[in-house]
Amino acid sequence: MDDAGQNITAEEKPAPTTVNRRQPFPRGFLDSIAEGWAERPESTPVQREQASWAARRRAAVSRAFPGQRLVIPAGGLKQRSNDTDYPFRAHSAFAHLTAWATDSEPDSVLVFEPREGGHDVVLYFRERADRTTTEFYADASVGEFWIGPRPSLAGVAADLAIATAHIDTLDHHDDDVILDDDDDLTRFVSELRLVKDEWEVAQMRLAVDVTAQGFDDIVADLPRIVAHPRGERIIEGVFHQRARSDGNTEGYDTIAASGPHACYLHWTRNDGAVVPGDLLLVDAGVEVDSLYTADITRTIPVSGTFSPVQRKIYEAVREAADAAFAAARPGVKFRSVHEAAMKVIAARVAEWGLLPVTADEALDAERGGQHRRYMVHGTSHHLGIDVHDCAQARREMYYDGELEAGMVFTIEPGLYFQIDDLTVPEEYRGIGVRIEDDILMTVDGPQNLSAGIPRTADEVEEWVARLSAR
């Protein structure tokens, strides 16, 4: 990575501390850098498809907060180390309300200015610098010499069908209602995403399709994965290649958990070997360029065949997933999905002699829960522009809310028998299984968007045999 030049003349001294590695620009550079550039014609972008959907969302926000000045920041760059930053990703609410996604600008702000009968909405961001300015060549964070072309105010206004203004003209008021500082606004924009519109559903389908290809890539590469001493890292890399080539990136850190690591729910260290005879749990999702992400888990026998105990556990988890899917219908409580899955989990672990109580006693809301030792997490969460979407919604709208057409959520039961868990037989220890699918609720019932990725034990074994033999 090259060093950014410092905006000083040859006679000035370099700044101290963090910028003392930078060299001064000689006079000849300063006198000539603004000259000799071809004209760059301005083109007016065609309004993007999602702009009209974002306008409807903004209208809903305006109706909910009459007379109030609302401020929705995109957020800024986050430091990774010293003078390097993490890749920028705009705040999900900002992206949802502007239709600005991977191409959005750090430190942008969406402002709802109250007026009679509604709001005037303005998107503020830093206009790109003319080549005659020092910012063009001297600022490594926003200068086009460093990071490439940046959007113009006029171009973004046409692209997003929204008024734009330079960030330097933004005034802050004491009575501003600012996202994340105001509970009501944060709640509203989160609940606004509970039901997806047609464009969002199409993006979810795309994210699932690309993710499915990423899972195929992993299975096809199993021989190389097994051969590497840190095969979990190879899985992560294989999926990353698909996510970056056909999408934006991963929607969250990939979980590539082999053997006992599959029992750790958020194993993202991914530094272990992938050993034949073990199960491999992969929890991964591609975030497409619109920022919508899939979230899918499959559990795969590394050798291509489940052992009898592995198959028994796997099919119990699938049974729980199928029960949850059957329970999901428009108008039923969201929590009913989890309850249906847990009935199966409790019944199976009781049947295997792992509980000190009956399955019914374990399911008692006050004194039960013994089965949760082996599945501590919930069965479902909403999914969309965030992997755990709508997280600031009220409980009565989320967990206790009713399923509606347009909602997208996961179904992801599991069973996890830790390697040192003395409450289970030795042959169960170190086995972790999760099956996770992405579900779209329609007026006719649930649709499994990820059903094309093998799910049953027989299908998974055939999948491995077919792809790993390529």
Each residue's pLDDT tens digit, 38-52: 988 777 789 999 999
The answer to whether 143 touches 137, Cβ cutoff 8 Å, is: yes
Mean of per-residue pLDDT scores for the chain: 94
What is the DSSP track for 350-364?
A: HHTT--SS-HHHHT-
Residue 354 and residue 307 in one domain: yes
Residue with tokens 């868990």: 421
Q: Is the pLDDT of residue 166 over 80?
A: yes
The neighbouring-strand residues paired with 178 are 71
**Largest alpha-carbon pair distance within the chain?**
84
Residue 58 and residue 206 in one domain: no
- Identify the pLDDT of residue 7: 44
- Identify the pLDDT of residue 14: 43
Residue with tokens 């959907």: 53
Q: Which of 195, 269, 266 is nearest to 232 (CA)?
A: 269
Interval 320-332 mean pLDDT: 98
Residue 275 and residue 386 in one domain: yes
Domain boundary among 144, 171, 191: 191
- CATH number of the structural domain spanning residue 240: 3.90.230.10
Question: What is the bridge-based pairing of β-strands 249-250 and 109-115?
Answer: unpaired
How does residue 281 score in pLDDT terms, banded at 50, 70 and 90? Answer: very high
- CATH number of the structural domain spanning residue 116: 3.40.350.10
Domain boundary among 191, 208, 227: 191
Question: What is the bridge-based pairing of β-strands 177-178 and 70-73?
Answer: parallel
Q: Is the pLDDT of residue 145 over 50?
A: yes
Q: Is the pLDDT of residue 6 over 50?
A: no
- Identify the pLDDT of residue 308: 98
- Identify the pLDDT of residue 20: 72
- Identify the pLDDT of residue 35: 92
Q: What is the pLDDT of residues 73-121, one digit of tens each?
A: 999 999 999 989 999 999 999 999 999 999 999 999 999 999 999 999 9
Residue with tokens 């309300």: 97
Q: In which domain, by residue range, is 132 found?
A: 44-191
Q: Is the pLDDT of residue 462 over 70?
A: yes
What is the DSSP track for 366-406?
A: TT--GGGGG--S-S--B-SSSTTTTTTS-TTTTTTSBP-TT
- Identify the pLDDT of residue 15: 45
What is the DSSP track for 265-319?
A: TT-----S---TTSEEEEEE-EE-TTS-B--EEEEEETTSS--HHHHHHHHHHHH
> Which residues, in sequence order, are CB contacts of 165 under 8 Å at separation 6+?
122, 123, 124, 153
Q: For the chain, first and last CA: distance in Å?
A: 39
Residue 61 and residue 183 in one domain: yes
Residue 217 and residue 97 in one domain: no
In a domain, 392, yes or no: yes
How does residue 5 score in pLDDT terms, banded at 50, 70 and 90? Answer: very low
The answer to whether 10 touches 24, Cβ cutoff 8 Å, is: yes
The answer to whether 347 touches 323, Cβ cutoff 8 Å, is: no
Q: Is the pLDDT of residue 17 over 90?
A: no
Residue 239 and residue 320 in one domain: yes
Residue with tokens 């929705």: 72
Residue 248 carries which side chain, given as an amino acid letter? Answer: N
Domain boundary among 136, 162, 191: 191
Residue 459 and residue 423 in one domain: yes
In a domain, 444, yes or no: yes
Residue 104 CA from chain centroid, whole number: 16
> Which residues, in sequence order, are CB contacts of 33 under 8 Å at separation 6+?
131, 136, 137
What is the DSSP track for 205-224?
A: HHHHHHHHHHHHHHHHTHHH
Residue 153 and residue 234 in one domain: no
Q: How large is the C-alpha radius of gyration of the chain?
A: 26
Pairwise pLDDT comparison (416 vs 128), residue with the higher score: 416
Residue 136 and residue 221 in one domain: no
Q: What is the pLDDT of residues 289-321, one digit of tens each?
A: 999 999 999 999 999 999 999 999 999 999 999
Interval 140-161 mean pLDDT: 92
Pairwise pLDDT comparison (2 vs 126), residue with the higher score: 126
Residue 396 and residue 248 in one domain: yes
Interval 229-248 mean pLDDT: 98
Pairwise pLDDT comparison (274 vs 127), residue with the higher score: 274
How does residue 19 score in pLDDT terms, banded at 50, 70 and 90? Answer: low
Residue 215 and residue 317 in one domain: yes
> How many structural domains does the chain have?
2
Count of other CB atoms within 10 angstroms of residue 12: 11
Interval 311-336 mean pLDDT: 98
Interval 259-272 mean pLDDT: 98
Interval 122-151 mean pLDDT: 90
Question: What is the bridge-based pairing of β-strands 109-115 and 118-125?
Answer: antiparallel
What is the DSSP track for 423-467?
A: TS-GGGTTEEEE-BEEEEEETTEEEETTTTS--SHHHHHHHHHHH
Interval 115-136 mean pLDDT: 92
Q: What is the pLDDT of residues 396-408, one digit of tens each?
A: 999 999 999 999 9
8-state DSSP, 179 = B
- Identify the pLDDT of residue 470: 67
- Identify the pLDDT of residue 23: 81
The answer to whether 456 touches 465, Cβ cutoff 8 Å, is: no
Q: Is the pLDDT of residue 13 over 70?
A: no
- Identify the pLDDT of residue 130: 81
Q: pTM of this prediction?
A: 0.94
How does residue 22 score in pLDDT terms, banded at 50, 70 and 90? Answer: confident
Residue 187 and residue 203 in one domain: no
